[in-house]
C-alpha cells in the first residue's frame, strides 16, 4: 500500500482523533502504528483519561450526575491508581444519593493517597447522610488537619456533634423499656435502594449470617479467592465488601447494617471456600436482618452475658444441658473425681496407687502412708478379693 492510499484510508480516523482533542503530533505517532516504549503507551492512556475527566466535570456542572459517574468510571479503568478520580466520583455519587458508593469511593481514594483532604470531606458528607455520625466526625477531623483553612470541615464537625448529642439524649428513655417484649415491624425497603426501582439481580456469591449477643458473623461463599483481591471497610453502621478478580466482574456488597457496630473490633478472614466477616455489635440487640430497615423497631436489649446465650442460626444445634441427680455409686464417684481434680501431685499419686493396687477397694490420699508399700485389697464385709485373670 503506497503512502497516498494510506492517507486516504486514515483520513476519517484523523477527523475522529482531532474531534477528541488529540494533537497532530499524537496522530502522527499513531499513524505509524508503532508503540516505541512503555512510556508512550502510558502517555496515550493518560491523554484519554484526562479527556474523560474533562467531560465528566462538564457533565457534573450541567447536573448530569449519572453521566459524570459513568465517565469517571471509564477514566478509573484507565488510571486505577488515581486517587483524585475516586474522590471526584464520590462527589457525583453523593449528588445521586448513592451514599454507600460514595463512602467506598472515598475510602479507595484515601487508601491511594492518605493526604487527599477532599476524600475525607466526601466521606464525612456521605456518612452524615447515612447517620454514621461518629465515622463522619473521625473522617472530617483528619480532613480538617490536612486543610485547616477550609470552613466546611468545621461546620460539618459541629453538625456531627449536634447529631451525636441528640442520639445520646434519645437513648436515655429507651433504658426504661429494656425488659419489654421485642416488637418488630414488617421489613420495608432499606436506604440501599435510595428510592430507585431496580429489578432484583442474582448476586454473584451467596451470603448468609448468624449472630451472637456480642457479634454478627457474615459468610460469603466465594471459593478460591485470594486475600489480595478482597477489600473490606467497616463503618459505624455500614459495611463494604469488594471482591475484584482480574478478568471477572467485580462483586460489591454494601449494606447499611441493621444496627451499629464497633469498627475497631471487627475483622474478616479469607478462606479457601468462603470469606468470613465478624461484626462486633455496639449494642446487644437482636438483628432481625442484616440490612437496615427504616421502620423496624426493637425495644428489647439482650440482658445476657456473651457466654450465656447460644448463637441464633438456622442450622445450629444447641446442646441440651441435663441436670444430673446422682445417688449411690455415681454420686460417690463424682465426689472422688472432684477430689482428684483439685488435689496436689502427691495426693493424686496416692489415690492412683492405692486404687490400682487394691483392685478398687482402697482409696488413700496419704502418699507417705502408701508410697513405700503395696496397698492390699480391703473388700466390704461379705465380699472377697479375687485376682483378675487376663
Backbone angles phi, psi at 87, to 5 degrees: -65, -40
Residue 243 vs residue 304, higher pLDDT: 243
Contact yes or no for 112/231 (Cβ under 8 A): no
Q: Is the pLDDT of residue 132 over 90?
A: no
Task: Tell me what pLDDT residue 377 has.
Answer: 75
> CA 114, 119, 121, 122 torsion: positive or negative?
negative
Residue 91 vs residue 345, higher pLDDT: 91
Cβ partners under 8 Å of residue 304, min gap 6: 213, 284
User: One fold for both 49-169 and 207-280?
Assistant: no
Confidence of residue 195 (pLDDT cuts 50, 70, 90): very low
Confidence of residue 68 (pLDDT cuts 50, 70, 90): very high
Task: Tell me what pLDDT residue 360 has.
Answer: 73
Cα separation of 26 and 11, whole Å?
15
Backbone angles phi, psi at 161, to 5 degrees: -60, -40
Cα separation of 303 and 138, whole Å?
30
Cβ partners under 8 Å of residue 162, min gap 6: none
Domain ranges across the chain: 49-169, 207-280, 337-371
Contact yes or no for 183/239 (Cβ under 8 A): no
Cα separation of 129 and 139, whole Å?
14
C-alpha cell at 6: 494510506
Cα separation of 231 and 244, whole Å?
8
Pick the closest to residue 22 from 46, 47, 57, 43 (CA basis). 47
Helices 133-146 and 151-174, packing angle to 10 deg: 160
Strands 239-243 and 230-234: antiparallel
Q: Which run of H or of E encompasses 253? A: strand 251-253
Q: What is the pTM of this model?
A: 0.46
Instruction: Give 131-182 as a DSSP string.
Output: T-HHHHHHHHHHHHHH-TT-HHHHHHHHHHHHHHHHHHHHHHHHGGGTTSPP
Cα separation of 1 and 198, whole Å?
53
> How far is the CA of 342 from the CAs of 240, 332, 347, 348, 368, in angstroms?
50, 16, 10, 9, 19
Q: Which tens digit of pLDDT belongs to each residue from 221-266? A: 988 899 899 999 998 888 999 999 988 888 999 888 988 899 989 9
- CATH code assigned to 49-169: 1.25.40.10
Task: Tell me what pLDDT residue 74 has.
Answer: 92
Task: Tell me what pLDDT residue 84 has.
Answer: 94
CATH for 207-280 (1.10.150.530, 2.40.50.140, 2.60.40.790, 1.10.730.10): 2.60.40.790
Grid cell 482531532 is found at 18
Mean pLDDT of 180-200: 49
Alpha-carbon 74 to chain mean position: 27
Q: Is the pLDDT of residue 207 over 80?
A: yes
Cα separation of 267 and 275, whole Å?
11
Grid cell 483519561 is found at 49
Task: Tell me what pLDDT residue 365 has.
Answer: 83
C-alpha cell at 218: 457474615
Confidence of residue 304 (pLDDT cuts 50, 70, 90): very low
**What percentage of the chain reaches a pLDDT higher than 90?**
31
Pick the closest to residue 149 from 115, 112, 117 (CA basis). 117
**Tally: H helices and E strands in the chain:** 12, 7
Listed ranges 21-25, 289-293, 376-380; the one with the highest mean pLDDT: 289-293
Amino acid at each position: 500500500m503506497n503512502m497516498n492510499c494510506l492517507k486516504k484510508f486514515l483520513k476519517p480516523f484523523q477527523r475522529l482523533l482531532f474531534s477528541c482533542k488529540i494533537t497532530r503530533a499524537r496522530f502522527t505517532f499513531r499513524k505509524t502504528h508503532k508503540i516505541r516504549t512503555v512510556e508512550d503507551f502510558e502517555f496515550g492512556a493518560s491523554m484519554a483519561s484526562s479527556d474523560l475527566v474533562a467531560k465528566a466535570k462538564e457533565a457534573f456542572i450541567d447536573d448530569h450526575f449519572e453521566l459524570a459517574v459513568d465517565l469517571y468510571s471509564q477514566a478509573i479503568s484507565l488510571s486505577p491508581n488515581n486517587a483524585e478520580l475516586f474522590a471526584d466520583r464520590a462527589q457525583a455519587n453523593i449528588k445521586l444519593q448513592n451514599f454507600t458508593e460514595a463512602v467506598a469511593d472515598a475510602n479507595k481514594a484515601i487508601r491511594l493517597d492518605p493526604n487527599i483532604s477532599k476524600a475525607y470531606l466526601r466521606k464525612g458528607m456521605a456518612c452524615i447522610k447515612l447517620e454514621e455520625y461518629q465515622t463522619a466526625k473521625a473522617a472530617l477531623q483528619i480532613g480538617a488537619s490536612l486543610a485547616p483553612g477550609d470552613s466546611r470541615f468545621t461546620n460539618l464537625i459541629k453538625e456531627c456533634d449536634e447529631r451525636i448529642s441528640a442520639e445520646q439524649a434519645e437513648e436515655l428513655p429507651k433504658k426504661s423499656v429494656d425488659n419489654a417484649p421485642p416488637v418488630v415491624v414488617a421489613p420495608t425497603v432499606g436506604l440501599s435502594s435510595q428510592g430507585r426501582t431496580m429489578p432484583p439481580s442474582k448476586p454473584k456469591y451467596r451470603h448468609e449470617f448468624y449472630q451472637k449477643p456480642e457479634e454478627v458473623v457474615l459468610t460469603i461463599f466465594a471459593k478460591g479467592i485470594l486475600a489480595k483481591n478482597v477489600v473490606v471497610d467497616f463503618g459505624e453502621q455500614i459495611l463494604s465488601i469488594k471482591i475484584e478478580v482480574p478478568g471477572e466482574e467485580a462483586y460489591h456488597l454494601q449494606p447499611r447494617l441493621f444496627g451499629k457496630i464497633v469498627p475497631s473490633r471487627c475483622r474478616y478472614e479469607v478462606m479457601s471456600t468462603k470469606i468470613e466477616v465478624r461484626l462486633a455489635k455496639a449494642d446487644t440487640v437482636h438483628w432481625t436482618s442484616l440490612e437496615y430497615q427504616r421502620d423496624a423497631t426493637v425495644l428489647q436489649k439482650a440482658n445476657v452475658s456473651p457466654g450465656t446465650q447460644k448463637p441464633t442460626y438456622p442450622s445450629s444445634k444447641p446442646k441440651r444441658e441435663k441436670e444430673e441427680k446422682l445417688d449411690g455409686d455415681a454420686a460417690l464417684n463424682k465426689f472422688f473425681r472432684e477430689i482428684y481434680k483439685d488435689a496436689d501431685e502427691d495426693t493424686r499419686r496416692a489415690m492412683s496407687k492405692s486404687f490400682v493396687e487394691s483392685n478398687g477397694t482402697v482409696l488413700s490420699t496419704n502418699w507417705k502412708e502408701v508410697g513405700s508399700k503395696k496397698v492390699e485389697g480391703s473388700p466390704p464385709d461379705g465380699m472377697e478379693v479375687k485376682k483378675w485373670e487376663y
